[in-house]
Structure 1
């Protein structure tokens, strides 16, 4: 796999918002706590700090209830960071520990990636096979109440804390969803969330399906293992795969690089640029393509963010895959975790990342090569409508062969009915109800046919 890069940053990741019970991992971490150098002391804005201390003293003296110094200062720090961008934040010691636990892929809670929008909690993405996803929570939902408590006025951390709880306990989320006239209520039972970041199966003979739900520290190895298993199951080399990154909120940068590197034989995968030296990094592919050049179709949508966009952008720029679906979320910034002396940490946006061709997708997203509208695909009920064929016309000419054409048609129809009954119902249901996946497979077949000529 990819050669280890000699950098001062231990881990770099990309996260959007905050995860309920923390899904994603440590983003980037400095080894030493934040401290001020002498040059920094000389440049401190003393006039503005004098105003701050004046207001601090006024609150301590005149506010209707006593407030501790610790709370006032922590709130001031949180406000200072929140005012920068949606992804910079102050993490108290407990929050920092929870963030560090994210690389394990196991945590407690509901299983949704969330951020703040207009004072409400916005669902970036529900995680596969979690209570929130099973209850019907969707990307883009605005959470306005937690049980009976309004979310308006809460910080994101406060809302996340309320959504956490003992496994088996319940919470009611009141949600506003685009297209729905009235708010929706979802009663969800909290659980220990165990996320398997890579899932795979054969869509049909020669064509594989890979689903990455989030980018964790072991996602790259999981991807290679999944592809090896698909090859063994198929018994012959795969003619192509669909890589599904829909509603994938991101995760660890190194994992995104590993996944991209699995399909790209050489060249740049991603690079970052910021004001400080340590924020500038470049990641290059190493030799070998696990699919030996077989076609790839990558599915993305508005819930595909951060590390997902790195993979989609790299494969698109190298013309290694066709990107299909909807425009992605557009989070192209790097957050570095800077531990503080009190056991907490500052999550600070320190750089933007760029695709190999130099595109910054910050607030822009990845434009798919093939755009798909949001439609629902259903099978036609043959009992309600059956098309008329030549063989159904009264007095039609026979085929001219010894076997009557209509009888042959009837035999084939009977045979097909038998095959349909024996087919895997879950597989058929997935193909019919998942329109983007259905279209991706059709495209994959077409590319494979053209490639073989």
Structure 2
């Protein structure tokens, strides 16, 4: 009786197992069929033919145009940074990283479903017109930017030097909209500048150097290395690295900049995607810390994005620098450029950046160690002073007013470095080793 019951129980369990296994298999098969590419491609082909035959203007569209439009829509629905680039757009991207192109000089992205200015580039039409970080571009040439991709916006904003473009901006902090008619210029970008907007790099008070990195292009690390060499030759004891209003750029340049302050082999950033090939660790490969441990303060604000956030996050995690200013933009996703056979390309989000301590940057940003906020008036004055000829273009009264406005973030950075250097000097004097040296020096 007991044995019969046991056999019956085993048979029941086996039957249940077969039933569950069959159900799982059928569900997987059904799900696979539902997600198969072939029925979807068939639907796509049917719709395309319907458009060609029955749309009132269907005869004006080629198959190539319809497919490319579909690709643009497909990529734009994935996330704000993925896009299908026509050959001309791909060429524009190449020109961006080489530091020369034609347009109005504003870097834009999609934030909260709005076309938003990450940062204006110094001494460009957009910069001189007063367009600022966080401004929303609501219309371009009378067309609403709702559902407009970044690529579409950039294509309209750019053009031959000397031509004009009309746009409307909205500033959330004031609730005001403004119309602009801007004349396009050939945009040439110096990636690394000194406090005077030049490339002379004089040493400041207390032997503190200042370097501003405006963007991470192909020569940024090379230009930074040259700047550091000039400052070290003057006896630099501390550095302010200004990444405010830096919209980012090339990942390899972010690593190359970071490694100039780190020992060889130190982890800088990790990119993690869905596959093993998309998960990559980037380590410092240079000749070591160029400053030999001298203190650094990195300035950031809401206009610091992407590659700028990688540098700030790395140096913060490794306790190599003090990060001062405001929370950064939070653009920490990796876009891979996949060139296609006809000269077009995909910009596809394939991974996210993580700092050495595995903090995610995307949509979080970098929180500064020391928060120092600026007002709109202070920001405007700082940007005017940065622009070559900005002060000279003002009348005497406005020039005096702009010159009188402080830069609280830079001032605080200089105070922090001065304090660190003073403490290091005093610690050396009053440490046990310093006391022994004083006693030895006092002996007859």
TM-score (norm 2): 0.76
Alpha carbons 1:119, 1:151 under 8 Å: kept: no
CA distance in 2, matches of 1:211, 1:228: 15
CA distance in 2, matches of 1:244, 1:140: 19
Matched with 1:434 is: 407
Instruction: Decide whether aligned partners of structure 1 residues 147 and 50 sit closer, same or farther in structure 2, where only a CA change above 3 A counts.
Output: closer
Matches for 1:186-225 after TM superposition, within 5 Å: 186-200=180-194, 201-202=201-202, 204-205=204-205, 206-225=207-226
Matches for 1:131-210 after TM superposition, within 5 Å: 131-152=125-146, 154-200=148-194, 201-202=201-202, 204-205=204-205, 206-210=207-211
Larger radius of gyration: 2
CA distance in 2, matches of 1:186, 1:207: 40
Give 1:153 shift.
5.2
Alpha carbons 1:274, 1:350 under 8 Å: kept: yes
Question: 2:292 aligned with 1:292, yes or no?
Answer: yes
Matched with 1:45 is: 37
3-state DSSP of counterpart to 1:251: coil
Unaligned runs of 5+ in 2: 1-34, 195-200, 380-398, 427-444
Q: Which has the higher helix share?
A: 2
CA distance in 1, matches of 2:255, 2:361: 16
Matched with 2:89 is: 95
Give 1:120 shift.
4.5
Unaligned runs of 5+ in 1: 1-42, 379-425
Question: Which has the larger displacement, 114-123 or 434-443?
Answer: 114-123
Instruction: Decide whether aligned partners of structure 1 residues 155 and 361 sit closer, same or farther in structure 2, where only a CA change above 3 A counts.
Output: closer
CA distance in 2, matches of 1:372, 1:122: 23
Question: Which of the numbers 65, 89, 112 marks the counterpart of 2:57?
Answer: 65
CA distance in 2, matches of 1:231, 1:258: 19
- Indicate the RMSD between aligned Cα atoms, in angstroms: 2.6
Matched with 2:369 is: 369
Instruction: Decide whether aligned partners of structure 1 residues 427 and 193 sit closer, same or farther in structure 2, where only a CA change above 3 A counts.
Output: farther
Question: Which has the larger displacement, 140-149 or 186-195?
Answer: 140-149
Alpha carbons 2:237, 2:295 under 8 Å: kept: yes
Alpha carbons 1:119, 1:154 under 8 Å: kept: no
Instruction: Decide whether aligned partners of structure 1 residues 438 and 430 sit closer, same or farther in structure 2, where only a CA change above 3 A counts.
Output: farther
Instruction: Decide whether aligned partners of structure 1 residues 262 and 153 sit closer, same or farther in structure 2, where only a CA change above 3 A counts.
Output: closer
Matches for 1:322-401 after TM superposition, within 5 Å: 322-375=322-375
- What count of residue pairs does the alignment treat as equivalent? 364
Alpha carbons 2:203, 2:236 under 8 Å: kept: no
Matched with 2:281 is: 282
Give 1:442 shift.
1.2
Matches for 1:216-255 after TM superposition, within 5 Å: 216-232=217-233, 235=234, 237-255=235-253
Give 1:297 shift.
0.6
Alpha carbons 1:253, 1:307 under 8 Å: kept: yes
Matched with 2:316 is: 316
Alpha carbons 1:336, 1:347 under 8 Å: kept: yes
